[in-house]
Amino acid sequence: MKQDRRLTINAELRADQPQAETPETQPAQTEAPDNSATPQDPQNQDQPKTLSGYAIVWNSPSKDLGGFTEVVTQQALDNVDLSDVLMLNNHDYSQVLASVKAGTLKLEPDEKGLHFEATLPNTSYANDVYEQVTAGNIDSCSFGFEVNDGSDTWTKDDDGNVTRTINAVKSLFDVSVVAVPAYDDTNVQVDTRSYEKFINKKKEDDNMTKQTIIDPEKQTGTKTETRSFEDYIRSHGELRDGITTDGAAAVIPKEIITPVFQLKQSKYNLAQYATVKQVSSGTGTYPISTVEQTAVLATKEELADIADVNGNMFIDVPFDAKTRAGKIALSNEVVEDSEVDIVSEVKAQLQQLVDNTDNGQIMSLLTGKTGSNDNFTHTTATGIDDLKKVFNVTLDPALGKMWFVNQSAFNYLDTLKDSEGRYLLQPNPTAPSGFTLLGAPVVLISNKVLPDNADGTFPVIVGDLSQAIAVFRRNQVTAQWDKFDQFSQGLSVIVRNDYEIISKDAAVIIALGTAA
């Protein structure tokens, strides 16, 4: 029996600490659209801990599964027996979190998807899972299932995008709490066979002929006219000159979806402070409520028509996702002879490039210009009074203000004292840098990311980056493939994203100190 596993996008996984039950009062159920966890009440530490969310979301496209995406229809579970489903930690059957049979897991299909509520046991791994969900470190779900042949359909649109639709699930084995979904080779193989039947049928309908890996009739000495392996990679498998999958699925190139953006807690990744939106197309506009809303409601006379609101409630932020990529080749001699896992080390460095790209693009928007005008307000400050004016007057008090300073500016601020000789930077373990200024957290950034100004002053950014900058994510993927002719392997990272300004009034750029 081969079991497929899929990540559930928009799982809305959350942790709840139930209140103690009494005969007269039942625990209230609270639905929340986000991943936030309800703070624990110290008086209810002995009460069972619960998790809830969606294990499956109907008609929600999966990530790229190797040339196609997948959706599950609302009718897919109509004839499925859910009486013996388990909730697991990361699909590990040795770490059972809840069970339908035991009454600790409730599964209920609704208009959105398969909703679950799980009461966790008092075990170390269950408590660890609950704490990770509460902290927001884990916010994804997955499900293990099996389908019969003919229970799925395949379609291909005019742009060449292939979609697999699961119309009927044969068995649902488990729902799992996961940090990173694992698409192992066996699971991909199941989908690949079905995918190849669809592709081969498409070719037959179009009177296309199959080819072998190397056409002997086209050989000239040691050279052939076979299209290069790199073309096959770049075309996501659509260019198949010289490749056939009759009898066995193609095992290379092996495309692996990896958590490229899992480094959001990295010390210098500024995307964690901006507004990040996942978009389903490469270009478009995203409506965002404006911070300049000052309209009021008009007085209405009895039986009179209600007046239109005189105000701009939303702004449309345009986005155009650009593809950014990089690759590196490693000889197999280096891989085999290295005493460390050099491939993993290179993957980590490629992921770090994503952080560097975020930082560079966000900083360019904050400190740069559009035409001859600065993107954001620029001012100077030599002491605490100048900083207070920007903080108290220039910026709207409703903003969630933070200070972003480089190492030189931090050192300058660390020497400022009030009239009584007390340092103005106050220790605060909850702030990213461990300090606050005027009650707002201070974020310390490397001089390499935010260099000193050319005139010798130090850069300081103050404001609310979530109101100032939007990051639009379209897709992220890493690929690994073998290059037989060079006895080497290639590694690459590709991201599609865009960076745009939301509100120019949400941040101020300060030149701190005296110009040389």
Domain spanning 258-299+307-516, CATH class: alpha beta
pLDDT beyond 70 at 403? yes
Percent of the chain with pLDDT over 70: 71
| Highest-confidence segment of 35-39, 248-252, 265-269, 481-485 | 481-485
> Which burial class, exposed, middle or buried, applies to 467 when counting CB atoms under 10 A from its CB (0-12, 13-18, 19+)?
buried
- Structural domain boundaries of the chain? 4-21+28-183, 209-255, 258-299+307-516
Tally the C-alpha atoms within 13 A of residue 378's C-alpha that lie toward its C-beta. Answer: 13
From CA 5, how far away is CA 22, in angstroms rounded?
A: 40
Per residue in 141-190, pLDDT (tens digit) is: 888 888 877 778 888 887 778 888 888 888 888 888 887 653 333 233 33
441 preceded by a cis bond (ω within 30 of 0): no
Task: Place 344 in a pLDDT band, splitting at 50, 70 and 90.
Answer: confident
What's the pLDDT score for residue 196?
Answer: 56
| Highest-confidence segment of 28-42, 262-276, 440-454 | 440-454
For the ranges 106-110, 114-118, 386-390, 417-421, the lowest mean pLDDT is seen at 417-421
Residue appearing with tokens 């709490």 = 177
For the ranges 253-262, 263-272, 421-430, 481-490, the lowest mean pLDDT is seen at 253-262
From CA 391, how far away is CA 54, in angstroms rounded?
A: 42
What's the pLDDT score for residue 12?
Answer: 65
Single-letter code of the amino acid located at 351: Q
Please provide the size of the chain in residues: 516
From CA 6, how far away is CA 143, in angstroms rounded?
A: 6
pLDDT beyond 80 at 33? no
- DSSP-assigned states of every residue in 54-70: EEEETT------SS-EE
